[in-house]
Structure 1
């Protein structure tokens, strides 16, 4: 297992470190440019490639149902946590506010995204095949595709659009418009329509190879944003959504799937995917809608560390 994690996280460490170093020498506007490029070009290419290599004849209903349930559960946990957080923060208590800082609108949006969206494509699909068999990997792929479309660029984009705009004039149709015009949605539709069409080998190979560039770019973006984090406050605020995402949510998914009769590798695959660290796509949404970027980046770091500790626990509890 140690060797598996080493191979999975070597690119993360290398590219994130490169982003940390490059930030000091490159224009300050580059992180936003990179984030927008990933949003409009990189992520749609990744989804298109993922859809084209997914076998849609298997596990049509199971994984999407669990994914939607996990997204709703993650949102509910984050929303309830924010409600409790607000009640605990007393304006007259400066000592308490040091440990529980006030959360503005953009930070609340980032908090929910960090606790709800997991890195199922970049990290999940790199780890799952080493821990479960081929059939269970199919479930993991379906989970990833469902979250990318209906989670990250469905509910996630809706929430990012809502929290990233001023309350005044924030009409419901603006969020609907943003969801319907997201490039990743149309990439998914294109992938489904062309799924049975055989492309020239050079085009297909180039499409699949582009995924590696998207992953590298996302890691570099995270490193650049980590270089901008100011002090302890961002990590302090990120601890709670990271715990919700990597400890609480997958444990609940494991319990629910067990009660529903799922066991062995299929159950482990669902627990693994629901317990992936905070998604890099959340950082891309934060770039696009001006949410709290530092909180997303900090949650990625904290949740990644927690995931490394939790994977052996998941294998023991839910892998049999």
Structure 2
């Protein structure tokens, strides 16, 4: 009975259970299996769940503010990361300010350009799709799903494909350079964006009860597969590189930004469940897409991987904080 009545306990049982299953499957199966599953979810599963949930979502109110809040969080995270990189005073920073130490052969700064790129990306974009949306649906149901979806599609997805690619291209060591059309092409080729339009149009199309139930069941199955995929991806993470930088990154991404912007949402007329949805999306750990950019542009992949691994574990401890602070 407690399992049925307590949404947070239900969420934790689902998160830990399905992610753990995915973790063990990832250890047993070849790496390509998680890639195939992720591609299936990207092209078929996630669009199906979007159509199903958007049909029952509440699209009234100021949901158009969700992507604006997303971009505010992205830019604020990047701004704080840039300040920390350039003005943070610590042992490495003091070495950089010392010309003698800087010319020393033992000098090896922790803020190389590829490391800066990974650090910036990890503080800016979170796992709002495969992780943030399941968390929102489990805690608040499908009624407020549109807030999370607008945040993810028009905020995170656009941010990582436009701003993320630009940062990775600038900070990376790769000779690969993309034209300004490439990020835009990636956005418009995203099946989730087309599924959002289809779901919105189909809201006025009545479906029989069995078909509606089948659609909803399929959507929740996709959520479960997404959690298993996260576990499979986490099973490949085996690094604790640049731990101090990772902890600083997560403090900005998962604590400072949600707290400050979440508190400020009240002054913009956003309160109650919609505010909690946005705070939870802001508080997600770094997106797995940051490792893809790190690999494509030769950024600091170890930092990106470590931030994701520790961030996913930290999420179990931060969700109750946001529920306590903003669930009213």
TM-score range, shorter chain: 0.7 to 0.9
Residue of structure 1 equivalent to 2:285: 278
- Consecutive unaligned residues of structure 1, counting only runs of 5 or more, are 130-136
1:210 aligns with 2:218: yes
1:110 CA drift (Å): 7.6
1:267 CA drift (Å): 4.4
1:18 aligns with 2:21: yes
Q: How does 1:94-105 map to 2 (within 5 A)?
A: 100=110, 102=112, 104=114
Residue of structure 1 equivalent to 2:162: 158
Q: State the alpha-carbon separation in 2 of the partners of residues 259 and 147 from structure 1.
A: 19
Give secondary structure in 1 for the equivalent of 2:28. Answer: coil
Q: State the alpha-carbon separation in 2 of the partners of residues 45 and 295 from structure 1.
A: 33
Q: State the alpha-carbon separation in 2 of the partners of residues 170 and 39 from structure 1.
A: 22
Q: How does 1:1-320 map to 2 (within 5 A)?
A: 3-81=6-84, 88=93, 100=110, 102=112, 104=114, 108-109=117-118, 112-113=121-122, 115-117=124-126, 118=128, 119-128=131-140, 140-159=144-163, 161-162=165-166, 163=168, 166=174, 168-233=176-241, 237-260=245-268, 267-275=275-283, 277-278=284-285, 282-283=287-288, 286=291, 290=295, 298-314=306-322, 317-319=325-327
- Consecutive unaligned residues of structure 2, counting only runs of 5 or more, are 97-101
Would you say how many aligned residue pairs link Structure 1 and Structure 2? 306
Q: Mark the CA change 1:227 to 1:272 in structure 2 (over 3 Å): closer, same or farther.
A: closer
1:93 CA drift (Å): 8.0
**Would the aligned equivalents of 1:48 and 1:190 in 2 still touch at CA under 8 Å?**
yes
Q: State the alpha-carbon separation in 2 of the partners of residues 209 and 83 from structure 1.
A: 49
1:224 CA drift (Å): 2.1
Q: Which has the larger radius of gyration?
A: 2
1:41 CA drift (Å): 1.7
* Larger deviation, residues 210-219 vs 72-81: 72-81
Give secondary structure in 1 for the equivalent of 2:261. Answer: helix
CA deviations 1:93-150 (Å, max 9, x no partner) are 86876xx474637x83585256432443111232246xxxxxxx85x43320112211
TM-score, normalised to structure 2, is: 0.74
TM-score, normalised to structure 1, is: 0.76
**Would the aligned equivalents of 2:51 and 2:196 in 1 still touch at CA under 8 Å?**
yes
CA RMSD after TM alignment: 3.8
